[in-house]
Amino acid sequence: MTVTLIERETEPILINDLSWREFKAVEQLIDRPGVRLSFLDGVLEIRKAPGKKHETIKERIGALLEIYLDFLGLDFTPTGSMTLESESGGVKREADESYELGSNKERPDLVIEVIVTSGGIDKLEAYKRLNIPEVWFWINDQLSFYTLGNEGYEAVPYSQLLPNLDVALLMRCINIPNHALALREFRAGIVN
């Protein structure tokens, strides 16, 4: 069963040809709740804060992932939607969710993006410049995995950081409408 929430998500506003300095000035002017900014190659992306569908899926994926990481006994730190930026790379991005596997790292090992609307900057290029080892995308009720190699990101059939993660179980539980039931079913599935 698929989670279906009716909600109007708006396309981002894109402003081209900004220098890093101009971007930082605009960022200070637009620093307010309900607005998310990203920047890549002189393009500023302005989005309104995500809606219920986006947040529900993001939280579900994060909760299931944390159950799995705890089950494995891994040392991990959820870093949420922390701001990641590099002036030399000309990039600023906030992941929907992010995780350090281990502790005290400069950047997360894994970021998760929930895509409800199209358009905007090239997120994989942004994460490549930020040197994020793995990116997961939730698009159209499907989870896709990308791992960073010498030539950029490559689509892979499962997580390279968590190769034993049961993707079918994860997908099934993401799509269970009841959150508590989804968590219980996932826990039961990884134990068996």
In this prediction, residue 9 has a pLDDT band, given cuts at 50, 70 and 90, of low
Q: Output the 3-class SS for the chain.
A: CCCCCCCCCCCCEEECCCCHHHHHHHHHHCCCCCEEEEEECCEEEEEECCCHHHHHHHHHHHHHHHHHHHHHCCCEEECCCCEEEECCCCEEEECCEEEEECCCCCCCCEEEEEECCCCCCCHHHHHHHCCCCEEEEEECCEEEEEEEECCEEEEECCCCCCCCCCHHHHHHHHCCCCHHHHHHHHHHHHHC
Reported as a single tens digit per residue, the pLDDT across 93-134 is: 999 999 999 988 989 999 999 988 777 889 999 999 999 999
Q: What is the pLDDT of residue 10?
A: 67
Q: What is the pLDDT of residue 2?
A: 39
CA dist., res. 34 & res. 49, Å (int): 4
- The more confident residue out of 4 and 23 is 23
The domain spans of the chain are 51-191
CA dist., res. 104 & res. 102, Å (int): 7
Fold of 51-191: tt1808, chain A (3.90.1570)
pLDDT at 163 over 60: yes
Q: What is the pLDDT of residue 88?
A: 93
pLDDT at 32 over 70: yes
The mean pLDDT value for 157-185 works out to: 97
CA dist., res. 189 & res. 165, Å (int): 11
For the chain, the distance separating the N- and C-terminal CA atoms, rounded to the nearest angstrom, is 22
Q: Whole-prediction pTM value? A: 0.85
Q: What is the pLDDT of residue 79?
A: 95
Q: What is the largest CA-CA distance in the chain?
A: 54
Per-chain mean pLDDT for the chain: 90
The mean pLDDT value for 51-73 works out to: 94
Of 28, 59, 37, 55, whose CA–CA distance to 120 is shortest? Answer: 37
